[in-house]
Structure 1
């Protein structure tokens, strides 16, 4: 029984690392794609002529990060609300999130900002906003210093929302005797959190005609929280089902295939005036939920599980946070040093060069910064209290 119980957990962890690895590699490809995308009076000129290949390379996967993060972090709250399982203190949750996010992030911000501001005071407002995760609310500086980290601002805000709403959901569900009622309360809450950004986007775009380049309107939490809400909904569904309703490989294949096709179609049909472009991220979040559910909630590993658990991909998943943090500075340094080929024809060699340079940097960052910082998590026990360490017993000779 212990062997059968351990196998699904190992498969689940490996698949999640695989998803992280694919998302990190796709993020690198997307930003190299942006670097080589050219606009002029004649229109837009993507670096790849084949629209199908271009759709795969330009697929935005930030919603996958949001869904995965919300799913993993909400699962304990969902199980506590639905089945009365014990809940870890909020201070422990925030402590572990802090040591997971902050050491590498603060180091990277200081290093990159100092390199771009050699004389003080420099762009001090940009530094303050990045260190306080408020740059997502600044139209001008949202993509300064570390461009992709606007999403970390949303991640940190999500932590605050989760530690506020999670315990409230648990308290609201405790008086309910029927399990179905507790599931309904959690599901409705997630649905409301998902619908609110939809309404915001619809009113901003169709009601007030706000252009898509208004980053604060469309990149802020009021517009992008749908990805986290979708991941929270996945956690509620997983907790409600438990071991029931697990899909067979064939039953999982069709919805997973449709989800992948839908994600590809969203990337292919990327005209800025399209309905699918306006609501790209809420739709993509639901499709990622379907794909993750069909990968994890199964009786046997699906056919694509072997790819997700491949050693090279799970290794990338292990260092995915470092790769996410460092790939843009590495790419820009290579560009400024003249090491990336010019013109649209240089896209493919540039993509390979950036991969070969960014991956070793990410691996070094993980082992030198991320992993040592993660050891700080041992300073607190499961109740969030300082752990007491005692010296071992003396050995007589």
Structure 2
């Protein structure tokens, strides 16, 4: 049986899609390369290759689409069953916060940012104020956006569940329409100056289309006969075409139509095109793995080493920029002065080591602890459910 096609399993369980770990590794590498290109100036001097590396920020959109698919699929898998909001929030907190706080603590110790900045980062509020950025931890903006998605998703799931009870296929249509509308709204405000203005293009409403395409794939699995679902399956089965469209969209995104490849301001139309292309890239990379059949693309992403990098990808995301900043601080080499290969030669192995330590020493223990807490609570609830009928019979 193919490992790339997702199905909903009985009793609320869902199948594991190993290739999604590989896609997570691809997204992490893209984010690392874009920061390396920026810090060394390679994005500006490296021609086409430099522009391709500089647009690696689309890896964040891929992360968002993966979150949208996996989390939404997990929450809707129980059908009409109750939503365990407490368990959901506790699992999300254990998954992201301990490793995030550990990395932030190291950044605070070595970079000594202002108290206000690191306090705002502690509570993932840095994107809602204009001047709280820590230069060696700038990539953390996307975690603030991710956490806002965690908070909003249960409300969306409950709203869609009410609609699903009356019209089982209507949530799919709503998610598809919301993807289009939010993409059109993503260019509502342009010209924001990084570090001066509030970066609303980092907020959930602007990044929503990438989350929504993941949710769209999850919804399509519930109503496979709907025209939208059959179209997604048809596209997903042609992995070559999906990758070709993703590649063309990515290449177009390196041109002036999406605005600067740096943190310089982009106008509203450029932000809209950037959002649309990022969403298209994320969808085309996700579709063959969730809606398609077995393919060489899926097989490549399930290679054990690629999957392992996907497993530790959160640590790669958290640690690469602090490591790069530390290298510049230690060597006293000016930023934007070249040195791409030396930076990667030293920075990548160090980042991989720290990411592995983060995964095995922080992320896994935190998730296991929460798992034990939730299993204990479930046993207590089951015991209470059994005791209530017994007490009623003896009254």
Q: TM-score range by the shorter chain?
A: 0.7 to 0.9
Structure 1 contact 100–373 (Cα < 8 Å) conserved:
yes
Whether 1:21 aligns to 2:15 is no
Deviations along 1:239-272, one digit per CA (max 9) or x if unpaired, are 3228985559973322332122212221244544
Deviations along 1:346-388, one digit per CA (max 9) or x if unpaired, are 2123223211221111112211111111211322447x93556
Name the structure 2 match of 1:235: 218
- 1:186–1:78 CA distance, 2 compared to 1 (3 A): farther
SS of aligned partner of 2:296? coil
Name the structure 2 match of 1:385: 377
Structure 2 contact 35–54 (Cα < 8 Å) conserved:
no
* Counterparts of 1:77 and 1:370, CA distance in 2: 22
SS of aligned partner of 2:173? helix
- Which shifted more, 263-272 or 94-103? 263-272
- 1:286–1:100 CA distance, 2 compared to 1 (3 A): same
- 1:200–1:322 CA distance, 2 compared to 1 (3 A): closer
Structure 1 contact 51–268 (Cα < 8 Å) conserved:
no
- Which shifted more, 85-94 or 370-379? 85-94
* Counterparts of 2:124 and 2:319, CA distance in 1: 17
- 1:248–1:169 CA distance, 2 compared to 1 (3 A): closer
* Counterparts of 1:374 and 1:357, CA distance in 2: 24
Structure 1 contact 259–290 (Cα < 8 Å) conserved:
yes
Structure 2 contact 213–283 (Cα < 8 Å) conserved:
yes
Name the structure 2 match of 1:393: none
Structure 2 contact 323–351 (Cα < 8 Å) conserved:
yes
Whether 1:133 aligns to 2:124 is yes
Structure 1 contact 71–231 (Cα < 8 Å) conserved:
yes
Question: In the TM superposition, what is the alpha-carbon distance from 1:105 to its structure 2 partner?
Answer: 1.1
Residue of structure 1 aligned with 2:345, choices 339, 352, 359: 352
Whether 1:31 aligns to 2:35 is yes
Question: In the TM superposition, what is the alpha-carbon distance from 1:134 to its structure 2 partner?
Answer: 0.7
* Counterparts of 2:333 and 2:297, CA distance in 1: 34
Name the structure 1 match of 2:205: 222
Greater fraction of residues in helix: 2
- Which shifted more, 261-270 or 310-319? 261-270
* Counterparts of 2:4 and 2:23, CA distance in 1: 18
Deviations along 1:273-332, one digit per CA (max 9) or x if unpaired, are 684554312331133112211233223x21222321122211111100011111111111
* Counterparts of 2:21 and 2:82, CA distance in 1: 25
**Alignment RMSD, CA only?**
3.1
Structure 1 contact 47–344 (Cα < 8 Å) conserved:
no
- Which shifted more, 140-149 or 334-343? 334-343
Whether 1:73 aligns to 2:75 is no
Whether 1:160 aligns to 2:155 is no
- Which shifted more, 248-257 or 311-320? 248-257
* Counterparts of 2:274 and 2:86, CA distance in 1: 35
Alignment of 1:38-187 (within 5 A): 46-48=44-46, 50-52=47-49, 54-56=51-53, 58-60=55-57, 61-80=59-78, 84=79, 86-117=81-112, 123-144=114-135, 146-174=137-165, 176=166, 181-187=167-173
- The TM-score with structure 1 as length reference comes to 0.80
Question: In the TM superposition, what is the alpha-carbon distance from 1:72 to its structure 2 partner?
Answer: 0.6
* Counterparts of 1:212 and 1:194, CA distance in 2: 26
* Runs of 5+ consecutive residues of structure 2 not aligned to the other structure: 7-13, 261-265, 381-395
* Counterparts of 2:123 and 2:291, CA distance in 1: 37
- 1:11–1:354 CA distance, 2 compared to 1 (3 A): farther
Name the structure 2 match of 1:192: 178
Structure 1 contact 341–350 (Cα < 8 Å) conserved:
no
Give runs of ≥4 in structure 1 deviating > 6 Å: 339-343
Structure 2 contact 316–352 (Cα < 8 Å) conserved:
yes
- The TM-score with structure 2 as length reference comes to 0.80
Question: In the TM superposition, what is the alpha-carbon distance from 1:73 to its structure 2 partner?
Answer: 0.5
Name the structure 2 match of 1:392: none
Structure 1 contact 191–233 (Cα < 8 Å) conserved:
no
Structure 1 contact 227–285 (Cα < 8 Å) conserved:
yes
Name the structure 2 match of 1:394: none
Question: In the TM superposition, what is the alpha-carbon distance from 1:170 to its structure 2 partner?
Answer: 0.8
Question: In the TM superposition, what is the alpha-carbon distance from 1:47 to its structure 2 partner?
Answer: 3.9
* Counterparts of 2:128 and 2:4, CA distance in 1: 44
What number of residue pairs does the alignment pair up? 359
Structure 1 contact 249–303 (Cα < 8 Å) conserved:
no
* Counterparts of 2:35 and 2:2, CA distance in 1: 40
